[in-house]
C-alpha cells in the first residue's frame, strides 16, 4: 500500500515536458474551469511543484471546490514546465510580486522565507491567503486554524490564516474532543514522522538511500542530516533549550489553538523511514478521570476522527493505511495507571493531507460556505 501510494505520488509529481506540451498543441494559459455555482474563486497555489502543493492540486481535483481559474506558482527552476489539473495542462509560473493581480485565494506552501516575502503582497492585493509554512503561525493577528478544533478563530482573519504544523494538527484532532469533555492538564507526545513531512525531495532521497543500501552502494545525504534509510533520527534544528524547533512548535501551537497556556506539553519529534503518514504516541493527564471506553466513545463521535482499536485482532492505526486518507486515526487507547487520570493514545494521519493540504482546503471551503 505504501509503495503503491509512493509510486502514485512520485508519478503525480512528474511534469509534462515542453515538447509534449507543443505536441498537444495547447496555448499557454491558466486552466479555466467555470463551475456552475454562484461563486467561484481564482486560486493560486504557491509551491505547486512541492509535496504539499502536489497534494493540494490532487485534493482540489477530488473535491467540488469552486475554482474559476488555477494558477500554479513555483520558483524560476520550474517556471515554464507543465502540470495538469483535471486533465488540463497548466504552465507553472515563477512566483513574483505581480503573481496575485488576478487571484482571490492563495494556498501557500513554498517555505517560510518565501511566505514572509510574498504573502504581504498577496494580502495587499486583497487575496485571502492560507499559509502552510511556519512564517506567521505565532503572530497574534494570524489565526492558526484546524477547522474541527477552532474554526471560530478563522472568522477574525485579516487576509491571512495559518495552517498549523502537521504533527500539531493530528494530535489536536484527537485531543480536542477529550479536552472539551474532561479538560487536559498535560500532554507528553513522541512522534514518528514520515519523510514526506520534510519535502518531496526527501521522499526521493529515502528511495535512493534505501536502494543504495540494499545494493551495497555508498549512501548520500543531501536532504537529511543523517542517513534516513534503516534509521530513526532527529531531523530538525535545535533551540538553545535542547528541544528541536519541531518540538517547540507542538508546544506553542497547542497553546495558541486551544487558547490555553496552562496545559503542559512535552514533545519529542522523531523522523522515521516511512514515506507517508505521521504516527504519534500521546500520553495525557486529564483534569477529570476518563476511562478508555469513554475516550473511545467520545472519539468515535468526533468529526474527522476514526477509532480503530481492537489490539487482539491486530486492529489499530498504521501509517500504511492512513496514507492517502483524510481522517485522523486513533487506537491503542489505554488508561495509564502510573499517574492520576492518565490515558495513552496512538494517533496516525496523512501529514500531506490532514496535516497540510486538506486542512487548508477545508478552511477555505467553510469560509466559502459561510460567505466570509
Ligand X SMILES: NC(=O)c1ccc[n+]([C@@H]2O[C@H](COP(=O)([O-])OP(=O)(O)OC[C@H]3O[C@@H](n4cnc5c(N)ncnc54)[C@H](OP(=O)(O)O)[C@@H]3O)[C@@H](O)[C@H]2O)c1
Interface positions with ligand X (CB under 6 A): 47-53, 74-75, 77-78, 95, 109-112, 114, 132-133, 166, 196-197, 199-201, 351-352, 355-356
* Closest CB to ligand X among residues 277, 307: 277
Nearest to 327 by CA among 174, 164, 186: 174
* Closest CB to ligand X among residues 51, 258: 51
CB of 297 to ligand X, least distance (A): 31
166: annotated active-site residue: yes
CB of 117 to ligand X, least distance (A): 8
* Closest CB to ligand X among residues 79, 298: 79
Give the residue nearest to ligand X (CB).
50
Q: Which of 97, 226, 255, 278 is catalytic?
A: 278
CB of 252 to ligand X, least distance (A): 15
* Closest CB to ligand X among residues 179, 276: 276
Rounded distance between C-alpha atoms, residue 328 and residue 169, angstroms: 9
CB of 371 to ligand X, least distance (A): 27
CB of 92 to ligand X, least distance (A): 7
278: annotated active-site residue: yes
Rounded distance between C-alpha atoms, residue 28 and residue 2, angstroms: 36
* Closest CB to ligand X among residues 245, 293: 245
Indicate the SS3 state at residue 228: coil
H/E element, 215: none
User: How far from 229 is each of 235, 282, 324, CA to CA, in Å?
Assistant: 13, 25, 22
Instruction: Specify the residue for cell string 530538525.
Output: 236
Q: Provide DSSP, 113-133.
A: HHHHHHHHHHHHTT-EEEE-S
Q: Do the Cβ atoms of 193 and 350 come closer than 8 Å?
A: no
138 Cβ neighbours under 8 A, 6+ residues apart: 144, 252, 253, 256
Rounded distance between C-alpha atoms, residue 43 and residue 104, angstroms: 6
Q: Which of 13, 76, 97, 166 is catalytic?
A: 166
- Within 13 Å and on the Cβ side, how many CA atoms surround 32? 5
Active site residues: 166, 278
Amino acid at each position: 500500500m505504501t509503495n503503491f501510494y509512493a509510486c502514485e505520488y512520485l508519478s503525480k509529481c512528474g511534469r509534462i515536458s515542453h515538447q509534449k506540451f507543443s505536441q498537444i498543441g495547447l496555448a499557454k494559459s491558466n486552466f479555466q474551469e467555470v463551475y456552475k455555482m454562484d461563486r467561484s474563486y481564482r486560486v493560486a497555489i504557491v509551491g505547486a511543484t512541492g509535496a504539499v502543493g502536489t497534494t493540494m492540486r490532487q485534493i482540489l481535483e477530488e473535491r467540488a471546490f469552486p475554482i474559476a481559474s488555477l494558477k500554479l506558482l513555483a520558483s524560476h527552476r520550474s517556471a515554464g514546465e507543465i502540470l495538469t489539473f483535471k486533465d488540463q495542462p497548466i504552465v507553472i509560473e515563477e512566483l513574483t510580486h505581480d503573481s496575485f493581480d488576478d487571484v482571490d485565494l492563495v494556498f501557500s506552501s513554498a517555505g517560510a522565507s518565501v511566505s514572509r516575502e510574498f504573502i504581504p503582497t498577496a494580502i495587499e492585493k486583497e487575496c485571502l491567503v492560507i499559509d502552510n509554512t511556519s512564517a506567521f503561525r505565532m503572530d497574534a493577528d494570524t489565526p492558526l486554524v484546524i477547522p474541527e478544533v477552532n474554526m471560530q478563530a478563522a472568522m477574525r482573519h485579516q487576509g491571512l490564516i495559518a495552517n498549523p504544523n502537521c504533527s500539531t494538527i493530528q494530535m489536536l484532532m484527537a485531543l480536542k474532543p477529550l479536552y472539551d469533555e474532561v479538560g487536559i492538564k498535560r500532554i507528553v507526545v513522541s512522534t514518528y514522522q514520515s519523510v514526506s513531512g520534510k519535502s518531496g525531495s526527501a521522499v526521493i532521497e529515502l528511495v535512493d538511500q534505501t536502494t543504495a543500501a540494499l545494493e551495497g552502494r555508498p549512501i548520500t545525504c543531501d536532504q537529511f542530516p543523517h542517513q534516513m534509510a534503516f534509521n530513526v533520527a532527529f531531523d530538525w534544528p535545535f533551540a538553545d533549550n535542547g528541544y528541536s524547533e519541531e518540538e517547540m512548535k507542538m508546544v506553542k501551537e497547542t497553546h495558541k489553538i486551544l487558547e490555553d497556556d496552562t496545559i503542559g506539553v512535552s514533545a519529542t519529534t522523531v523522523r522515521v523511514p516511512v514515506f507517508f503518514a505521521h504516527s504519534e504516541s500521546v500520553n495525557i493527564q486529564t483534569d477529570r478521570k476518563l476511562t478508555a471506553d469513554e475516550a473511545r466513545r467520545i472519539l468515535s463521535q468526533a468529526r474527522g476522527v476514526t477509532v480503530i482499536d481492537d489490539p487482539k485482532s491486530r486492529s489499530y492505526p498504521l501509517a500504511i493505511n492512513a496514507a492517502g486518507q483524510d481522517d485522523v486515526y486513533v487506537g491503542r487507547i489505554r488508561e495509564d495507571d502510573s499517574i492520576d487520570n492518565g490515558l495513552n493514545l496512538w494517533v496516525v494521519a496523512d501529514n500531506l493531507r490532514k496535516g497540510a493540504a486538506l486542512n487548508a482546503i477545508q478552511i477555505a471551503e467553510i469560509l466559502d460556505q459561510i460567505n466570509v
